[in-house]
């Protein structure tokens, strides 16, 4: 069984966890699910799996090559024991910490990672909003595991273990947990990580252990209400726009920067850094932590159509992923291209606004000139 098939088999358990969180949030009067946000999150999750199925070389191929040619004691049975697997998980989490930290502190890495942070809610479906471009830049961070001899299959299951552990940390329904908050990545610690509050930015990178953050000075305790999202909000449910948003901003600044050094620094400096001449010519609105969430008033029919379209596409993605390993590269990319079309359709439907009615006695031109409801206001 390959990793894609293993992921598909966990879907019923994930659905059960989502349903349980929804019921708890409703009972407590702290609803953290919106139809549009949830479908956008799940769409990104599907896209990440589609990209992973089409890039096996980056996902595991280079790792396997390094393991085979340079790995230490590649035939060691140690890694297939329970304690060997535990060591592999710790090694993976350590490598993951540094990749995750790079994803927040280096602009080109943030461009890939930002997709995971764009949701303005925090729930289990937010955890499934995985970035699809991370493997393109992130594979070198895990090569130390190949060098010390961690077999590719153990590496893959370590990845799954850490990723699935993190799912439960994406929730507002679990409070502080005492000593666990000092050792592990818990909901309280991870709420901090997803927050845009000044005191929380670029903190708590650990996937399984928050001990790495305590050791390397990136830990912050949850002390005030968390506001989720990104400091430059996406304000769209278009999945492709979500993927390219930061890349586009970086290319814009690099193109308009006058100094060649600045054109390069745009990609390697911390996110938010801009050349002085570009910042002066193209000023950006100041960050406001009190901004309203993006929640366009789509019609009920449009939302229902979006749900149906997403479910049909998700089933099609499941069939593709189950057999992807038996397909050639061209077939995989064709499948991905075809499946991206309805996912973009889901985003389009979620932003369909109700048609405005012409008030009695008003002219048609006056009705067309009337302002639309501002973005960010709910129905």
* In-domain check, residue 89: yes
Residue 54 lies in a domain: yes
Assess if residue 293 is contained within a domain. Answer: no
Sequential pLDDT tens for the chain (379 residues)? 667 778 888 889 999 999 999 999 999 988 889 999 999 999 999 999 999 999 888 888 999 999 999 988 877 899 999 999 999 999 999 999 999 999 999 999 999 999 999 999 999 999 999 998 877 889 999 999 999 999 999 999 999 999 999 999 999 999 999 999 999 999 999 999 999 999 999 999 999 999 999 999 999 999 999 999 999 999 999 999 999 999 999 999 999 999 999 999 999 999 999 999 999 999 998 888 888 899 998 888 999 999 999 999 999 999 999 999 899 999 999 999 999 999 999 999 999 877 655 455 544 443 333 333 333 333 3
Query: What pLDDT, on the 0 to 100 scale, is given for residue 367?
Result: 38
Residue 186 covered by a domain: yes
Residue 268 located in a structural domain: no
Whether 243 is covered by a domain: the verdict is no
In a domain, 290, yes or no: no
Split into its structural domains, the chain has a count of: 1
For residue 124, what are the domain limits? 3-216
Question: Could you tell me if residue 123 is inside a domain?
Answer: yes
Tell whether the torsion through CA atoms of 307, 292, 270 and 246 is positive or negative.
positive
Give the pLDDT confidence score for residue 359 in this predicted structure: 53
pLDDT at 364 (0 to 100): 40
């Amino acid at each position: 069984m390959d990793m894609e098939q293993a992921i598909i088999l966990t879907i019923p358990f994930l659905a059960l966890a989502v349903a349980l969180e929804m019921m708890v949030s409703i009972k407590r009067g702290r609803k953290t699910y919106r139809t549009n946000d949830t479908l956008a999150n799940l769409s990104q999750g599907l896209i990440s799996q589609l990209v992973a199925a089409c890039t096996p070389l980056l996902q595991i191929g280079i790792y396997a090559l390094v393991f085979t040619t340079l790995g230490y004691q590649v035939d060691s049975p140690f890694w297939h024991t329970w304690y060997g697997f535990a060591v592999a998980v710790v090694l993976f989490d350590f490598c993951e910490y540094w990749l995750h930290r790079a994803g927040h502190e280096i602009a080109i890495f943030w461009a890939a990672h930002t997709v995971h942070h764009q949701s303005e809610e925090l729930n289990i479906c937010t955890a499934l909003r995985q970035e699809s471009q991370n493997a393109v830049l992130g594979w070198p961070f895990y090569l130390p595991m190949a060098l010390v001899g961690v077999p590719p299959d153990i590496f893959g299951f370590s990845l799954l273990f850490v990723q699935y552990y993190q799912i439960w940390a994406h929730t507002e329904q679990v409070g502080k947990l005492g000593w666990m908050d000092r050792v592990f990545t818990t909901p309280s610690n991870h709420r901090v990580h997803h927050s845009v509050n000044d005191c929380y930015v670029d903190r708590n990178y650990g996937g399984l252990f928050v001990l790495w953050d305590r050791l390397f000075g990136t830990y912050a305790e949850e002390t005030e209400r968390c506001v989720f999202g990104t400091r430059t909000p996406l304000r769209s449910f278009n999945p492709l726009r979500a993927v390219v948003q930061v890349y586009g901003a970086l290319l814009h600044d690099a193109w308009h920067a006058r100094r060649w050094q600045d054109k390069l620094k745009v990609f390697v400096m911390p996110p938010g850094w801009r050349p002085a001449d570009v910042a002066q010519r193209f000023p950006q609105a100041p960050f406001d932590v009190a901004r309203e969430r993006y929640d366009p008033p789509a019609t009920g029919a449009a939302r229902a159509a979006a749900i149906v379209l997403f479910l049909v596409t998700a089933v099609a993605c499941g069939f593709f992923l189950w057999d992807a390993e038996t397909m050639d590269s061209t077939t995989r990319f064709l499948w991905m291209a075809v499946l991206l079309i309805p996912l973009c359709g889901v985003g389009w439907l979620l932003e369909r606004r109700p048609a405005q009615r012409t008030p009695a006695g008003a002219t048609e031109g006056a009705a067309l000139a009337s302002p639309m409801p501002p973005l960010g206001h709910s129905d």
